[in-house]
């Protein structure tokens, strides 16, 4: 659908909440409130929903071509194709996200920034800071990505695992965009689930090579959301924000040291945050073939990282949302394979948790 700023609010397509609007799939299968079911009221123990079925959220609108840009949005469609080809998922397992409403975006963003985006009125400075040319299609891609992560969060609360085949715009601040990110889909999704009283506390595990500075800033004074960012010290952002926990790593860290550090840190992070929901920002720019990140993990190392995160979530019966975020290997195929591996690891770990 072409971008039409006037249609942003109030047309039929956008009317209603996430619950009633847009996606047929959602209306059919996700109408019941699900949060309270996750905890056994009598014993207080938490359990994951039984009968897990894979659903992956994706919209063709995510894939906008950015001319000569290091960020290849087509990597998400390519990753999805790999899952279909490998029969990890069927076409029927793909869920279309509904378009978020203005008031949903404003759960994490200022009115003036939301307004600028919905009206397509970014200044040259706004674009320079975001490091992208914000055409109508680009803005629409970012808006739909927010809808995708919100739907993935709903799926996580219903089935234990929700995957957005895209998302992870962790450099978007409340009032501006940075580092290829315009809207912080993670922050909107967490706040939306809180607003609907499906969760109280959330944990964001951000293992992209770059610090989750936008997410950290948005939740800086919010004790209900724990932000954990493990990232490379000497790359963007130069001036780091303060997450609830930052772990900084040097260039060339490699598998062994990276995985050891993560293994040591995760139990404490879960203990301190006691989350009802985890959002895992699984940027693959930690890979040794990446053009922006320099942590130098092998593909097997990235895979182990992902398995570790999901195993830690599921052994505590905490639902997890996966967003894919960064990844800039030379050639879209290599990046797509890494993102597909992450989604595979998520699905496998979820199935394993079901026994």
> Is the peptide bond between 237 and the residue preceding it cis, with omega within 30 degrees of 0?
yes
Phi, psi of 176 (to 5 degrees): -165, 165
Minimum distance between the CB of residue 293 and Zn ion, rounded to whole angstroms?
6
> According to the binding rule CB under 5 A, does residue 210 interact with Zn ion?
yes
Q: List, as one string, the DSSP characters of 179-225.
A: TTBSS-HHHHHHHHHHHTTS-S-EEEEE-SSS--HHHHHHTTT-TTE
> According to the binding rule CB under 5 A, does residue 212 interact with Zn ion?
no
> According to the binding rule CB under 5 A, does residue 290 interact with Zn ion?
no
Stretch of 2-10, 11-19, 141-149, 280-288 lying at the interface with Zn ion (CB under 5 A): 280-288
| Distance between first and last Cα of the chain | 42
Query: Do the Cβ atoms of 73 and 141 come closer than 8 Å?
Result: yes
Stretch of 16-24, 208-216, 299-307, 338-346 lying at the interface with Zn ion (CB under 5 A): 208-216
Residue number with CB closer to Zn ion (193 or 216): 216
Q: Which residue has the tokens 């959330």?
A: 202
Stretch of 37-45, 57-65, 200-208, 252-260 lying at the interface with Zn ion (CB under 5 A): 200-208
| Chain position whose Cβ is nearest to Zn ion | 326
Query: Do the Cβ atoms of 160 and 314 come closer than 8 Å?
Result: yes
> According to the binding rule CB under 5 A, does residue 246 interact with Zn ion?
no
> According to the binding rule CB under 5 A, does residue 312 interact with Zn ion?
no
> According to the binding rule CB under 5 A, does residue 289 interact with Zn ion?
no
Stretch of 49-57, 241-249, 253-261, 282-290 lying at the interface with Zn ion (CB under 5 A): 282-290
> According to the binding rule CB under 5 A, does residue 21 interact with Zn ion?
no
Instruction: Give, to the nearest 10 degrees, the angle between helix 74-85 and helix 332-354.
Output: 50
> According to the binding rule CB under 5 A, does residue 208 interact with Zn ion?
yes
Size of the site for Zn ion (CB under 5 A): 6
Residue number with CB closer to Zn ion (100 or 166): 166
Instruction: Give which of 94, 26, 44 is closest to 317, Cα–Cα.
Output: 44
> According to the binding rule CB under 5 A, does residue 214 interact with Zn ion?
no
Minimum distance between the CB of residue 122 and Zn ion, rounded to whole angstroms?
22
Residue number with CB closer to Zn ion (109 or 171): 171
Tell me the C-alpha distance between 334 and 330, whole Å: 7
Minimum distance between the CB of residue 283 and Zn ion, rounded to whole angstroms?
4
List of long-range contacts for 25-30, beta carbons under 8 Å, 24+ apart: 25/55, 25/95, 25/96, 26/95, 26/98, 26/151, 26/154, 30/154, 30/155, 30/158
Q: Tell me which residues touch Zn ion (CB under 5 A).
A: 208-210, 283, 285, 326
């Amino acid at each position: 659908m072409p971008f039409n700023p006037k249609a942003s609010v109030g047309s039929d397509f956008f009317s209603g909440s996430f619950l009633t609007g847009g996606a047929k799939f959602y209306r059919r299968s996700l109408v019941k409130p699900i949060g309270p079911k996750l905890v056994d009221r009598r014993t207080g123990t938490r359990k994951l929903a039984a009968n897990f079925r894979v659903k992956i959220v994706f919209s063709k609108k995510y894939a906008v071509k950015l001319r000569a840009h290091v960020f290849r949005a087509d990597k998400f469609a390519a990753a999805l194709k790999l899952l279909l080809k490998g029969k990890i998922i069927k076409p029927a397992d793909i869920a279309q996200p509904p378009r978020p409403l203005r008031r949903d975006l404003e759960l994490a963003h200022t009115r003036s920034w939301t307004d600028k985006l919905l009206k397509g009125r970014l200044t040259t400075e706004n674009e320079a800071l975001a490091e992208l040319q914000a055409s109508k299609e680009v803005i629409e891609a970012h808006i739909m990505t927010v809808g995708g992560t919100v739907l993935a969060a709903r799926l996580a609360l219903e089935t234990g695992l929700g995957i957005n085949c895209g998302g992870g715009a962790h450099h978007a601040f409340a009032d501006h965009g940075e580092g290829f990110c315009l809207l912080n889909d993670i922050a909107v999704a967490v706040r939306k689930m809180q607003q609907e009283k499906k969760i109280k506390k959330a944990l964001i595990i951000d293992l992209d090579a770059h610090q989750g500075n936008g997410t950290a800033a948005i939740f800086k004074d919010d004790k209900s959301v724990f932000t954990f960012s493990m990232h490379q010290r000497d790359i963007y952002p130069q001036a780091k924000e303060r997450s609830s926990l930052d772990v900084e790593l040097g260039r060339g860290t490699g598998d062994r040291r990276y995985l050891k550090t993560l293994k040591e840190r995760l139990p404490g992070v879960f203990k301190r945050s006691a989350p009802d929901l985890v959002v895992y920002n699984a940027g693959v720019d930690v890979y040794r073939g990446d053009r922006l990140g320099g942590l130098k993990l092998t593909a097997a190392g990235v895979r182990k990282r992902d398995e570790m995160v999901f195993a830690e979530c599921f052994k505590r019966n905490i639902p997890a949302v996966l967003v894919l975020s960064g990844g800039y290997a030379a050639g879209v195929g290599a990046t797509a394979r890494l993102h597909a591996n992450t989604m595979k690891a998520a699905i496998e770990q979820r199935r394993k948790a079901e026994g």
